[in-house]
Amino acid sequence: MHYLIGDLQGCCDALDRLLAEIGFSASRDHVHVLGDLVNRGPGSLATLQRLQELGGAATVLLGNHDLHLLAVAHGVRPPHRRDTLDDILEHPQREAWLAWLRQGRLADMACGWLLVHAGVVPQGDAATTLARAAEVEALLQGPALDEFLPRMYGNTPARWSDELRGVDRLRCIVNVLTRLRFCAADGTLEFDTKEGADAAPPGFAPWFEHPHRATAGQPVAFGHWSTLGLINRPDLLALDTGCVWGGALTAVRVDGGRREVTQVRCTQAQAPF
């Protein structure tokens, strides 16, 4: 059985309870975690350890918080006052944990679902989304990471173009796959607004509502956007249900034509502000 799981953000206790609730067996089942494995919750290291223990029964995407961990570890970003990453950064085997994290995916397919942490651009179908993700995955796993991380942050380019090259291209891919919420009809991307879908800036709408989205009809599952809550449509799953903020951790079974939603409440939540 294949399960998609929303943002963990260091809530290892909730993950353990969710796995128990679905009766997870590593010899039979597979979990696909949609990014933001660490940060803000109380057990960032424990979460990585638990996922690693699952071996081939778990596939993880990387979210913006996971990339933030890499940036902090490499000294190119200061820790945020609300970060909960010290258990990883101060661990004797921190380099091994960071190396494991760098093997994560930026996009994946599972049981016909396209999996991303945040979103996709209107122009990108599933195949091109996976191909662009692979460009960043190769960079994360290679020797050029130190050179890229200081230049990874920023909101430009504001629109995707197949003509993009170099750092601009890679930054745009990262922003789309790990940060995107709103998009304009002309493909302009917006990365500042964090509220729910009804808080769209003028001229913008949630990326998944774009009228000419190339992935329309392609089932897409994503996390990242806790203020949306659970969206459970035939071809769209939003699975960041705000576990770390006092909400729930959500798993959805997607194999065999069945759709089963399982949730557990978080018992170690942070205040949202």
Are 239 and 9 in contact by the 8 Å Cβ rule? The answer is no
Domains annotated for the chain, with CATH where assigned, are 2-265 (3.60.21.10)
CA distance 52 to 256: 26
Q: Under a CB-based contact definition with an 8 Å cutoff, are residues 201 and 222 in contact?
A: no
Distance CA 60, CA 107 (A): 9
For the CA atoms of 3, 7, 10, 13, the dihedral, rounded to the nearest 10 degrees, stands at -40
Stretches where the chain sits below pLDDT 70 are: 268-273
Residue 222 CA to residue 136 CA, distance in Å, equals 18
Q: How far is CA 73 from CA 79, 86, 95, 145, 150, in A?
A: 9, 10, 9, 12, 12
Sequence-distant (6+) residues with CB within 8 A of 270 are 40, 41, 82, 244, 245, 246
- Chain centroid to CA 193: 17
Which pLDDT belongs to residue 269?
53
Distance of CA 181 to the CA centre of its chain: 12
* 144-187 residue pLDDT tens: 999 999 999 999 999 999 999 999 999 999 999 999 999 999 99
Q: What is the pTM of this model?
A: 0.96
